[in-house]
Structure 1
Amino acid sequence: MMPTALQANVGKPLTLGAVALLTAWVLSPFATPIIAGACMAVVSQPYLQKALRLGISLRIAVLLNTLLWFVLLALPAWLIVGGAAPALAHVLHNPPQADEIAGWFRVIPFVGDSAAQAVAHLLGSNSPAEWLKQWLTEHSGVLKDSAKHLWILILHIAVALLVMDGISYHAGALSSALERGLTRLTGDAAFVGAALNLCAQSIQSVLGGMIGVALFCGVGVGLIMLGVGLPYAVGWAVAVAMASLIPMGTSIVLVIASVMLLATHGFVPAVLLFGLGHGVVWIADFWVRPYLIGARTHTPLLLTLMSILGGIEVFGLIGLILGPVIVLTALGLWRLWERSHVDDTFSGT
């Protein structure tokens, strides 16, 4: 029995929708690197087009673009390992004595004696090296999980680079297919084209803002680190820049660096690094990031900040990108509709 036209019209979308949902479910463990890779591909498109106009083949241009992103991701890790890691290893292999550690806290105004007693009680009769060894033994499970997460992070970075490479190489075909599909769903080719352009602009604004924040934090906190005399300040500054891409990441780096500075240079430089460093991070998170993300699309600062915080709350880490992209695209579509409505009103239609 042949299906009726109504059954065909209903059955095809339902089938396609079911297949799409199953595909999304299968790929959901890699949602973050897939979205990140797609965003990186969108940001890279203007530069790939410039390379093509210079006569560079598409395959070579995409390969160079992928290598550049790999260097941007791998170089900071190399600088951290070559800079900050030796300083941390030096402290671990030459640990100060318990009395010396308590003395660092005793100079803190008002609460110094209480802090020193608490530290002495925490260390007990063990030396710092023995206490650290005991702590590592007790928390071996957590450390193993952290190592596992590190391998997952490396895998996700590799997936993001591969996704970006594939999308960049087939950008023309993928863009045409997406535009045709959305046009069939909406019946308005002009609207679809405008929506895709707005989405691309939003992605470029968001990633551009994230890169700007990383540079702001890296340079600002790096200058403070140089000023207070932190060893391997360049490596630590790169660590701060990379950590600024994730919530609370910069605070973790600043705490570790401040503790090391406390061990080598005393209380005042450590407090200056901790306080001024967090001041730079606060300015970056609550002013620089929203300003850079919203400047290109003329989005209000408060709305951009709320989209960042709301995106993290709803989507997790990838919400740093998805939240602002969704809100900026929605605002752009609203403005587009508003302009078209005003034009229709004045034209008498």
Structure 2
Amino acid sequence: MISSPPVAPPEPPDAPDLPVRPKKQRTASLVLYIGLVLLALWVVRDFIAVVAWAGVIAIALWPVLRKVEGNRWFTGRTTLIAAVLTLLIALLVVLPVGIGIAQALREAHDMNEWFKTVQENGIPLPDFVQHLPFGVQQISGWWQANLAQPLRGSAAMKGLHSPTVMTLGRHFGARAVHAVMVFAFVLVTLFVIFQAGPRLSGSLLKAMRRGFGDDGAQLLQRMAAAVRGTVSGLVVVGLGEGALMGAAYFVTGLPHVALLGFVTAIAAMLPFCAPITFGIAALWLLSQGSVAAAIGLVVFGSVVVFVAEHFVRPVLIGNSTRLPFLLVLFGILGGAETFGLLGIFIGPALMTVLMVLWTDLVQ
């Protein structure tokens, strides 16, 4: 009897396609989430800078906020603390601007009278021109031919009423209104951040730990420290430059020394903006015939700015952020060039990320 060949056992049915479907769903969900986030960022694109500025200010003042919250007199009064801190920030910006506008309005009458005199009689040759070591005849001849004559019918006066000047004036007004609106939104955002307080910081750290582990949370803290150190360095150096230049203004005999020193301190908090203030002051001294005082002011101010911007400020920021000197300097200058004024604070934070990645790579 011939035995039949053994029958092969039936192949097991294909495994259910259960793991594939969740993977596809996760991929689709990820794409959907990314798309929604990008869409949301596009919708609020005009307010990203507002949130960034509010974040920088909040990070800089966060230790103050925590210290005030720890006081038993302010326990549980989060809204009051947020309102007071926001009001102080508003006054810190509004008061200098208001003082400057008030001073400009006081000088407006004299400026108007000078403008009328220039139209009728021209601009007289400054006394310091006669004391220049060279070029006296050339400068005097050009001045007499172009500026010493009545300027009512000159091309310069006609140009003041040209459509281009009017357009520039309207553009400046629109930019000023836009700046006021941005500042108002920054204050509102800052109030909300202060009011959220520890809940917001705790949520951010929790999200970083969940997404990137403990290293991500530490990186976030170091980036915040970099921003805080940058703000501290800018403020300290700005106040120092303002004090030194205020003393120079007093020595050279400039009027309104306190106001000029304060304006210089505010300008010096921004990299390489202090020369604008002492440059204008030097021009005023030059117009009054004080050539030596003007030259001395420019030389002294240039030395102060050079030392402060290239040595003192990077060292202060580097010590608080544990960044090398060059990384701080490149972060400030490169950030300002790439992102504008906000980049002054973003640059050192990005350099902190670079330093952390390099440290993890070599260790």
Do they fold alike, i.e. is TM over 0.5? yes
Cα distance change, pair 103–264 in 1 and its aligned pair in 2 (3 A): closer
State the shift of 1:176 in Å: 3.2
State the shift of 1:61 in Å: 1.3
State the shift of 1:134 in Å: 4.2
Q: Does 1:207 align with 2:231?
A: yes
1:173 counterpart (189, 192, 199): 199
1:7 counterpart (18, 24, 34): 24
State the shift of 1:204 in Å: 0.6
2:42 corresponds to which letter in structure 1? W
- Structure 1, 161-170 or 122-131: larger mean CA deviation: 122-131
Cα distance change, pair 157–120 in 1 and its aligned pair in 2 (3 A): farther
Cα distance change, pair 162–101 in 1 and its aligned pair in 2 (3 A): farther
SS in 2 for 1:142: helix
* 1:275 alignment partner in structure 2: 299
Cα distance change, pair 275–87 in 1 and its aligned pair in 2 (3 A): farther
State the shift of 1:67 in Å: 1.4
Counterpart CA distance in 1 for 2:222 and 2:232 is 15
State the shift of 1:218 in Å: 1.4
Q: Does 1:316 align with 2:333?
A: no
SS in 1 for 2:321: coil
| Structure 1 alignment gaps of length 5 or more | 342-349
**4+ runs of 1 displaced by more than 6 Å?**
128-132
* 1:23 alignment partner in structure 2: 40
Cα distance change, pair 203–273 in 1 and its aligned pair in 2 (3 A): same
2:205 corresponds to which letter in structure 1? E
Cα distance change, pair 230–181 in 1 and its aligned pair in 2 (3 A): same
Residues 106, 115 of structure 1: 8 Å contact kept: no
Residues 105, 115 of structure 1: 8 Å contact kept: yes
Counterpart CA distance in 2 for 1:127 and 1:212 is 46
* 1:305 alignment partner in structure 2: 329
Residues 195, 333 of structure 1: 8 Å contact kept: no
- Structure 1, 271-280 or 117-126: larger mean CA deviation: 117-126
Q: What is the RMSD computed on CA atoms of the aligned residues?
A: 2.9
1:240 corresponds to which letter in structure 2? T
Residues 226, 349 of structure 2: 8 Å contact kept: yes
Q: Does 1:219 align with 2:274?
A: no
State the shift of 1:40 in Å: 0.8
- Structure 1, 196-205 or 4-13: larger mean CA deviation: 4-13
Q: Does 1:70 align with 2:94?
A: no
Cα deviation 1:275-311 (Å, max 9, x = unaligned) = 3223322222222221221121232222211111111
Counterpart CA distance in 2 for 1:35 and 1:129 is 50
* 1:152 alignment partner in structure 2: 178
* 2:15 alignment partner in structure 1: none
- Between structure 1 and structure 2, the one with the greater Rg is 2
* 1:345 alignment partner in structure 2: none
SS in 1 for 2:255: coil
Q: Does 1:230 align with 2:254?
A: yes
Cα distance change, pair 241–100 in 1 and its aligned pair in 2 (3 A): same
Equivalent runs, 1:94-173 vs 2, <5 Å: 94=114, 98=122, 100-123=124-147, 125-127=149-151, 133-138=157-162, 139-173=165-199
Equivalent runs, 1:284-295 vs 2, <5 Å: 284-295=308-319
State the shift of 1:54 in Å: 1.0
Counterpart CA distance in 2 for 1:161 and 1:92 is 36
Equivalent runs, 1:184-263 vs 2, <5 Å: 184-186=210-212, 188=213, 190-246=214-270, 249-263=273-287
SS in 1 for 2:125: helix
Residues 198, 332 of structure 1: 8 Å contact kept: no
Provide the TM-score with structure 1 as the length reference.
0.84
Structure having greater relative contact order (Cα 8 Å, sep ≥ 6)? 1
2:310 corresponds to which letter in structure 1? F
SS in 2 for 1:239: helix
SS in 2 for 1:110: coil
1:71 corresponds to which letter in structure 2? L
Cα deviation 1:122-147 (Å, max 9, x = unaligned) = 42633499887545324232232222
Provide the TM-score with structure 2 as the length reference.
0.81
Counterpart CA distance in 2 for 1:117 and 1:302 is 50
Residues 310, 329 of structure 2: 8 Å contact kept: yes
State the shift of 1:87 in Å: 5.2
| Structure 2 alignment gaps of length 5 or more | 1-17
State the shift of 1:88 in Å: 7.1
Q: How many residues align?
A: 336
Cα deviation 1:109-132 (Å, max 9, x = unaligned) = 223443444444542633499887
Counterpart CA distance in 2 for 1:124 and 1:305 is 47
Counterpart CA distance in 2 for 1:99 and 1:168 is 55
Counterpart CA distance in 2 for 1:113 and 1:93 is 30
Aligned-pair identity in percent equals 22
Please state which structure has a larger fraction of its residues in helix. 1
